[in-house]
Structure 1
Amino acid sequence: MAVKKRKFSEDYVKFGLTFIEKDELQFPQCVICMKVLSNDSMRPNRLERHLKQQYPTLVLKTKEFFLVKQNHSSG
């Protein structure tokens, strides 16, 4: 059975995640801790779970907050 290659959605930024590409696959990357999650984790409920478990104080932050963090971490 073929592995499903999940694609990043811009909506995932609201969970504090961006993505990196490796070997033509996209992997979610947390903009707070920079941890790279598996491609299989690129499901809204799993991405939200990372945010809630690791950063419960940031759950109510806006998408714009995470965009600033993303831009700050990338350079």
Structure 2
Amino acid sequence: MAAKKRKFSQDYVKFGFTFMETAELQLPLYAICIKVLSNDSMRLNRLERHLQQQHPSLVLKTKEFFLLKQNPSSG
């Protein structure tokens, strides 16, 4: 059975994620550390866990903060 191909959701921005598209997959890309996670990691609880464990100082940041980090030229 093939793995489920998850799609990016705008809800992921509040944890600092955007996505990178490869072939037929969307992979979560963290805007702060530029780390690309697996498609299987594109679940709210896993994205939130990355933020809490790897970047605890950013847990209380707003969605707007992460949007500025993703698009620094727009601010």
Question: What TM-score bracket applies, with the shorter chain setting the length?
Answer: over 0.9
Which residue of 2 is the match for residue 9 of structure 1?
9
- The percentage of aligned residue pairs carrying the same residue is 77
Residues 9-67 of structure 1: CA deviation (Å, up to 9, x unaligned): 01100001000000110000000010000000000000000000111010000000000
CA–CA distance in structure 2, aligned partners of residues 28 and 70 of structure 1: 13
Question: Which amino acid letter does the alignment assign opposite residue 7 of structure 1?
Answer: K
In structure 2, distance between residues paired with 1:4 and 1:11: 19
Gaps of 5+ in 2: none
Q: Which contiguous aligned blocks of 4+ residues in structure 1 show a shift greater than 3 angstroms? A: none
- Count the aligned residue pairs: 73
TM-align CA RMSD: 1.0
- TM-score under structure 2 normalisation? 0.94
